[in-house]
Chain A
Amino acid sequence: MSDLLKMTATQARNLLLKKEISSVELLDAYQTAMEETKGLNNYVTPTFEVAKQMAMDADKAYSQGTASSLSGLPIGVKDLFCTKDIETTACSAILKGFLPSYESTVTSKVWKSGGVMLGKLNCDEFAMGSSNETSIFGPSVNPWSKKDGNNLSSGGSSGGSASSVAAGAALMSLGTDTGGSIRQPAAFCGVVGLKPTYGRCSRWGIVAFASSLDQAGPFTRTVEDSALIFSAMAGHDPKDSTSASLKVPNFSKAVHAGIEGLRIGIPAEYYVDGMDIDILELWKKGRAWLEQAGATIVDISLPHTKYALPCYYIIAPAEASSNLARYDGVKYGKRIEAETLDEMYELTRADGFGEEVQRRILIGTYALSAGYYDAYYLKAQQVRRLIKEDFDKAFNEVDAILTPTTPSPTFPLGAEVSDPITMYLNDVFTVPANLAGLPGISVPAGLSKQGLPLGLQLLASHFREDKLFSTASAIEKQAEFSLVPPRAAGDLQ
């Protein structure tokens, strides 16, 4: 049944409930698509057997009337989530072969809701990168690459998560976002990517990059699907001290709530030099769409926007330098044998970490070290407060903020890898939300002149994902983005 891949999660669920399709059938279609799109290098560890069992369990649940919100829906997982007895590497050589004896809270919740695990998805090493090129498994390829053209980047760090959903090799997927790692690849691949409010989803069991910024979130084809899976992922976890003890509202309702009377802010500072003209135009369109849907557009100012990126590139590496100290060749993962303990550490970590990860560890170590702490780390924390205060002020006036997700569409693999700062600039529009802990969503909203997907980003105040869903849904309706990427699985075409 070739239409299986074309369904949204919400549609598939309705058919599953009506028993018009079975979970096993749906899974078969996706496993075939996974095989077919192997060239995109999205799955680093497919979990065929586990998936079969889960799909059969889901069918049983449907027949017994005990199905949950995600029962039978095939879902891929970024290889940053620890999955019990399934290799979890963070796409790093240093964790090769690591078999967790535990399951992350978010994935547990998704499986408890009946989700079917397709496998572990490619990402940048320890989620450090914006093109998926720092992965030890090599980059994920964007399905929007022309059939005979250059391989384009899926974005990063959750490249595999975005690419697999776009290519029809996953119905939905899980990723993490520290500085844009969900929203940027979602924009590059033409799918919906949600970064929830910091504290909304538990970080327990997710390989940490920068603890004060990391959040798990979903990739889906529609806003409605995003709300569906996010409702299953979110919620307080007593094992994560930074997780908020708040009730999770019904987000699916928000999707259809409309935006009549909402106030949407357009921040002046997001007009940056060198921004792609197509993106500027799309942003204008987005503004018009929201106005047509009944929202009021307000020009706002977020004066410290410019400093978000350098601020992020102190805070994230500083936290990472400490978070990654545990990869030392003693308890798990790789070890290079040596005569002394220190030599063992130094050789193991030099060999096990890739270049970008080493670079960030060194930057972070430097920023925290004696004599530089005040000038770098402390300064960055102060700037972080100013950035957050900018948003606090803005959200006194508006319900949501509309920006482009990225300053440009995706690029060929290898094009930006040599210059770290050019690469970092990919995250210029996404990083502020992480620094301020705000929820953000990227919605596919159009194509560039070269036929590459572009995304619009919406930001809301803390724990107001409902407003994101309402607003994103309005954009989705008017953008009518339904094009299928050239390198997607055949049945999606």
Chain B
Amino acid sequence: MSTLVSGRTGEWEVVIGMEVHAQVVSNSKLFSGSSAVFGASPNNHVSLVDAAMPGMLPVINEQCVKQAVLTGLGLNAKINKFSVFDRKNYFYADLPQGYQISQFKHPIVGEGEVKIELSDGSTHKVGIERIHLEQDAGKSLHDQHPLKSYIDLNRSGVALMEIVSKPEMHSAEQAAAYIKKLRSILRYLGTCDGNMEEGSLRADVNVSVRRPGHLLGTRTETKNLNSVKFIMQTIEFEVNRQIELIENGGEVKQETRLFDTTTGMTRAMRGKEDAHDYRYFPDPDLLPLTFDDAFIDELRMGMPELPDEIKYRMVNEYGLSSYDANVLTEERETAAFYELASDGRDRKITANWMSVELFGALNKAGIELAQSPVSPSQLGDLIDLISDGSISGKIAKEVFSEMFETGKDAKLIVDEKGLKQVSDESTIFAMIDEVLAANLDKVNEYRGGKDKLFGFFVGQIMKASKGQANPGMVNQLLKQKLDI
């Protein structure tokens, strides 16, 4: 699929790279023992280290190291057994130390890749340049006072992974697919909760345009995008802005930009005219971070199955469509739900029930799968009732909505309401006799050659059985009766 963009003067190729900041799932911060949990009162999740009190020193959290390595493994990346923490020096109100501890020359994870799938079914690989561990900054609130900014250091020192892609995306769609896939992998690994609204996952997007085959153009970096939609809007806006600028004889300026969520436009950041000079140097309060192969192997052994592997199994072993497999693997919870519900049952029917009935109901109720009133085993039981002929598919839908509403088991509902399918010959014959007796004229018409009436009789019988008669048997037995 061509991703070239037509401008007034010809075609343009878009080049996109992304730096994703993913908050590491951990109890405590990267270098201090205060809580990394979101949402506390201001400055309550702050230790003396986080507040950069004189003489305070960083001590690294082992969990954060493990999470970074696990992420690297999940992205098929090179794990660096030797990495170094550097100080990135700059002044800002929410940076209490006056430097951020990050990794510059020697990151913990090297090159890897993310496989993305686009709407036309094509797949595409996006290279990962590196992943490094670093501290998050605090938060400045600018709307509390006309002349002052308020500073909350709760996030100061929380562990982030900066996942840097190669500039290998060429459209907003690709960028969206990349961030979604990355998010999904991180959530499967349990290394980042992926909550973009709370800022656990946010992206800086680098965009440039060039004539196909030419050298890279000047890029702009739009900071801190916390939704897929904003990422796409930013790219679309920047691509148009840059093409228009160049086509009108202007030049793209290398700069940091901010995205305005209300207008959907980006603008250059103010006060950033100082050339950045971060004066990186190895943090003398820390030593190089080292570990051995055994440490990596242990983490590798404990790795969960990732969406691509599960998808492969769903398509090739369970016979699901690629579409269904995509839907079912997007979230780890969904895949796990499906595996439980479909275990030992018809995989395809279960997939269908999940993607149509369950997701439909969840959507309508506006709740997440985690809050589903119907558990995987309950859904499985319902499917068993269909498979063993206890209820028809139609009744099953009825039972399902009752289950969704009340949380009761399928069997209980079927029993309470007497919804069990009638498969007893004599009972069905009795129903058939009753219907035929009441419609003797139509019986004659049928026998006179009006075949279409067969359906009418089936309908009447099913109605008389309140839908519980086994439709297959009704068909078969009715035929016997009528064709005498």
A and B touch in the complex (CB under 8 A): yes
- Chain A residues with a Cβ under 8 A of chain B: 81-82, 88, 90, 95, 98, 100-102, 104, 203-208, 210-212, 238-242, 318-319, 321-322, 324-326, 328, 330-332, 339, 341-342, 345, 365, 368-370, 373, 377
State whether A325 touches B98 (Cβ < 8 A): yes
State whether B54 touches A88 (Cβ < 8 A): yes
**Interchain CB contact (< 8 A) of B55 among A208, A319, A328, A370:** A208
Measured between alpha carbons, how far is A239 from B33 in the docked complex, in Å? 10
**Interchain CB contact (< 8 A) of A326 among B54, B58, B60, B149:** B54
B285 to chain A, nearest CB (A): 5
Within 8 A of A (CB), among B268-316: 277, 279-281, 283-287
State whether B52 touches A326 (Cβ < 8 A): yes
Measured between alpha carbons, how far is A208 from B56 in the docked complex, in Å? 9
Contacts known (A102-B53, A207-B55, A331-B96); A369 close to B286, Cβ less than 8 A:
no
Q: List 7 A-B contacts (CB under 8 A).
A: A82-B54, A90-B54, A238-B59, A239-B59, A241-B57, A328-B98, A373-B279
A82: B residues at CB distance < 8 A: 53-55
State whether B286 touches A241 (Cβ < 8 A): yes
A238: B residues at CB distance < 8 A: 59
Chain A residue with the shortest CB-CB distance to B49: A239
Measured between alpha carbons, how far is A369 from B93 in the docked complex, in Å? 21
A273 to chain B, nearest CB (A): 32
A328: B residues at CB distance < 8 A: 91, 98
Chain B residue with the shortest CB-CB distance to A89: B54
State whether B284 touches A319 (Cβ < 8 A): yes
State whether A322 touches B89 (Cβ < 8 A): yes
Closest 10 CB pairs of A and B: A325-B98, A368-B279, A211-B284, A212-B284, A326-B52, A205-B55, A207-B54, A370-B277, A82-B55, A206-B55
Measured between alpha carbons, how far is A345 from B274 in the docked complex, in Å? 15
- Decide yes or no whether B14 CB sits under 8 A from chain A: no
State whether A322 touches B57 (Cβ < 8 A): no
State whether B55 touches A204 (Cβ < 8 A): yes
Measured between alpha carbons, how far is A377 from B54 in the docked complex, in Å? 24
A205: B residues at CB distance < 8 A: 55-56
Interface flags for B126-154 (1: CB within 8 Å of A; 0: not) read: 00000000000000000000010101000
State whether B151 touches A330 (Cβ < 8 A): yes
**A203-B57, A339-B147 known; 18 other A-B pairs, CB under 8 Å?**
A204-B56, A207-B54, A208-B54, A241-B57, A241-B59, A241-B285, A241-B287, A318-B281, A321-B89, A322-B98, A322-B281, A326-B52, A326-B96, A341-B93, A341-B149, A345-B91, A368-B280, A377-B281
Chain A residue with the shortest CB-CB distance to B271: A342
Measured between alpha carbons, how far is A95 from B54 in the docked complex, in Å? 10
Measured between alpha carbons, how far is A368 from B90 in the docked complex, in Å? 12
- Chain B residues with a Cβ under 8 A of chain A: 48, 51-60, 87, 89, 91, 93, 96-99, 147, 149, 151, 277, 279-281, 283-287
B91: A residues at CB distance < 8 A: 325, 328, 342, 345
A98, A102, A239, A325 — most chain B CB neighbours (10 Å):
A325
B285: A residues at CB distance < 8 A: 208, 211, 241-242
Chain A residue with the shortest CB-CB distance to B51: A331
A318: B residues at CB distance < 8 A: 281
**Interchain CB contact (< 8 A) of B89 among A98, A100, A325, A339:** A325
* Interface SS, B side: loop
Chain B residue with the shortest CB-CB distance to A315: B284
Chain B residue with the shortest CB-CB distance to A368: B279
Measured between alpha carbons, how far is A23 from B87 in the docked complex, in Å? 47
Chain A residue with the shortest CB-CB distance to B92: A341
Measured between alpha carbons, how far is A321 from B284 in the docked complex, in Å? 13
A210: B residues at CB distance < 8 A: 284
Chain B residue with the shortest CB-CB distance to A210: B284
Measured between alpha carbons, how far is A241 from B32 in the docked complex, in Å? 12
Measured between alpha carbons, how far is A90 from B55 in the docked complex, in Å? 11
Measured between alpha carbons, how far is A90 from B99 in the docked complex, in Å? 21
**Interchain CB contact (< 8 A) of B99 among A81, A322, A332, A377:** A322
**Interchain CB contact (< 8 A) of A325 among B59, B99, B286, B287:** B99
Chain B residue with the shortest CB-CB distance to A214: B284
Measured between alpha carbons, how far is A134 from B205 in the docked complex, in Å? 48
Contacts known (A322-B281, A325-B91, A326-B97); A239 close to B54, Cβ less than 8 A:
no
A206, A239, A332 — most chain B CB neighbours (10 Å):
A239
B279: A residues at CB distance < 8 A: 321-322, 365, 368-370, 373
State whether B93 touches A331 (Cβ < 8 A): no
B284: A residues at CB distance < 8 A: 210-212, 242, 319
Measured between alpha carbons, how far is A56 from B93 in the docked complex, in Å? 46
A98: B residues at CB distance < 8 A: 54
**Interchain CB contact (< 8 A) of A331 among B53, B55, B57, B60:** B53
Measured between alpha carbons, how far is A342 from B147 in the docked complex, in Å? 14
Measured between alpha carbons, how far is A101 from B99 in the docked complex, in Å? 23
Chain B residue with the shortest CB-CB distance to A342: B91
Measured between alpha carbons, how far is A133 from B285 in the docked complex, in Å? 28
A314 to chain B, nearest CB (A): 11
A332: B residues at CB distance < 8 A: 53-54
State whether A203 touches B55 (Cβ < 8 A): yes
Measured between alpha carbons, how far is A158 from B87 in the docked complex, in Å? 28
Measured between alpha carbons, how far is A365 from B89 in the docked complex, in Å? 10
State whether B51 touches A101 (Cβ < 8 A): no
Measured between alpha carbons, how far is A210 from B281 in the docked complex, in Å? 13
A96 to chain B, nearest CB (A): 13
Chain A residue with the shortest CB-CB distance to B276: A370
State whether A100 touches B53 (Cβ < 8 A): yes
